[in-house]
């Protein structure tokens, strides 16, 4: 088994914000082609010991693709951990040129509706249901209608969590710890954006599971765009930049599951190489200067085009 999981954000729909998507996927992004690609990556992940799979209602057909794969491969509920998220709706219509690809609404009514949709697809495979991109400003963590429904879901045997986003991730995580209702938190932490580290450590200390997303910063920490210090350190260690970047996340004592966002079997194998990389203080010191101001990081992420 591995602590690395597989996220399907970039596999379940034709457009996403990762760098180099045109080169990675080519022109054929029809439903059948993306389903076949998703299943191939899932097969490779399973063979390598990946047992955590991350999806969401807004990831196009990702829940559908995952459910079909679980059924076709005869994987029993509980043999893998499947986490999904509610709050965003996919509105891209499977079009590359859609004006909007997803719309956010963190309401009790959307939770009710999307939970029904998720359960229709994933059934007993649903292990964890998370608020998608919760923020303090959204008010969702103070919405008793939402919290009561999540508590009821937890009583039914499904773990509940939240994912976070933006430069105030730490504030959102701190509030979730105060509430004491959530089993997990899924947050962005990477060599460029480290601001949530202290809050994630405290969440871990409070008994919450920590899932880390965007460990390669939507492609910025891969061979395609790696900053010079990361590229040089990877060459010196004989590994790929993405493996070294993910190894930095795995080295955090609070990190439980670290997600790969691979869209090909080759990318997946490169990402999973992180588990074999030894992290040490020399690397800590050498790459400390990569950290960006959170406002700068998130502004840059927001400017990424939906390829």
Question: What is the mean predicted confidence (pLDDT) over 112-133?
Answer: 98
Helices (H), the chain: 21-25, 31-47, 62-72, 108-122, 144-155, 169-179, 197-205, 228-237, 241-250, 265-272, 281-287, 294-302
- Tokens for 164? 């976070």
Q: Which residue has the tokens 């105030």?
A: 168
Which region among 23-27, 150-154, 277-281, 283-287 has the lowest average model confidence (pLDDT)? Answer: 23-27
- Tokens for 277? 């990389």
pLDDT score of 171: 98
Report percent pLDDT > 90 for the chain: 93
Range of the domain at 231: 4-303
Question: What CA–CA distance (Å, rounded) separates 118 from 160?
Answer: 14
pLDDT tens-place string over residues 284-304:
999 999 999 999 999 999 888
Beta carbons within 8 Å of 154's beta carbon, 6+ residues apart: 160, 181, 183
pLDDT score of 223: 97
Q: What is the CATH number of the domain that holds 102?
A: 3.20.20.100
Contact of 84 with 130, CB cutoff 8 Å: yes
Q: Based on the structure, what is the number of domains in the chain?
A: 1
Answer whether residue 18 shows pLDDT above 90. Answer: no
Answer whether residue 307 shows pLDDT above 90. Answer: no
pTM of the model: 0.97
């Amino acid at each position: 088994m591995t602590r690395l999981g597989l996220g399907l954000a970039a596999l379940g729909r034709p457009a996403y914000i990762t760098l180099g998507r045109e080169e990675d996927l080519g022109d054929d992004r029809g439903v059948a082609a993306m389903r076949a690609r998703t299943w191939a990556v899932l097969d490779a992940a399973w063979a390598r010991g990946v047992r955590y799979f991350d999806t969401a209602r807004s990831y196009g057909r990702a829940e559908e693709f995952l459910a079909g794969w679980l059924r076709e491969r005869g994987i029993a509920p509980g043999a893998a951990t499947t986490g999904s998220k509610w709050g965003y709706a996919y509105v891209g219509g499977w079009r590359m040129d859609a004006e909007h690809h997803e719309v956010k609404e963190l309401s009790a009514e959307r939770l009710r509706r999307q939970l029904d949709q998720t359960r229709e697809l994933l059934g007993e495979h649903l292990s964890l249901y998370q608020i998608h991109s919760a923020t303090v400003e959204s008010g969702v963590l103070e919405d008793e209608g939402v919290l009561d429904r999540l508590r009821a879901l937890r009583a039914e045997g499904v773990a509940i969590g939240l994912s976070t986003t933006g430069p105030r991730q730490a504030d959102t995580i701190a509030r979730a710890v105060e509430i004491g209702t959530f089993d997990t938190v899924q947050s962005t932490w990477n060599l460029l954006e480290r601001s949530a580290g202290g809050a994630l450590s405290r969440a871990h200390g409070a008994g919450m599971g920590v899932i880390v997303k965007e460990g390669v910063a939507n492609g910025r920490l891969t061979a395609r765009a790696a900053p010079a210090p990361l590229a040089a350190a990877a060459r010196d260690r004989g590994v790929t930049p993405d493996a070294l970047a993910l190894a930095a996340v795995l080295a955090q004592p609070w990190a439980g599951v670290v997600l790969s966002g691979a869209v090909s079997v080759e990318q997946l194998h490169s990402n999973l190489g992180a588990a074999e990389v030894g992290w040490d203080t020399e690397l800590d010191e050498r790459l400390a200067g990569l950290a960006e101001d959170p406002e700068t990081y998130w502004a840059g992420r927001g400017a990424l085009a939906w390829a």
